[in-house]
Amino acid sequence: MVPHIRPAQLDQWLQDCARHAPGVTPIVLDVREPWEVAAASVRAEGFELKHMPMASIPARLHELPRDRPIACLCHHGGRSAQVAYFLHRQGYEDVVNIAGGIHAWAMERDPGVPQY
């Protein structure tokens, strides 16, 4: 089972990560297509932001460290949920899905993020 967090809960997730793995920087994995990232993106504050389109993940799995917490992000949360489940099935233990995606991010965390 992969947990789902809302963008408004990200700060709490980051704090939990810091308690469980001090000194380890969590990853927000943006699985949207390049044109989507160009249209709207988030600022990396307290985490590393990685962009990998969903279809590229199986071939690029080696680029994702297994020892760092990963929160998956897409437009509304569907693709990122699929990627989070895939990562979990591949043995990644600390993975969450950001429910509502960047759309909810713009409403809950940063109204400066364009909606599309």
- Active-site residues, by number, are 74
CA distance 17 to 47: 10
CA distance 107 to 58: 31
Closest CA to 78 of 61, 104, 98: 98
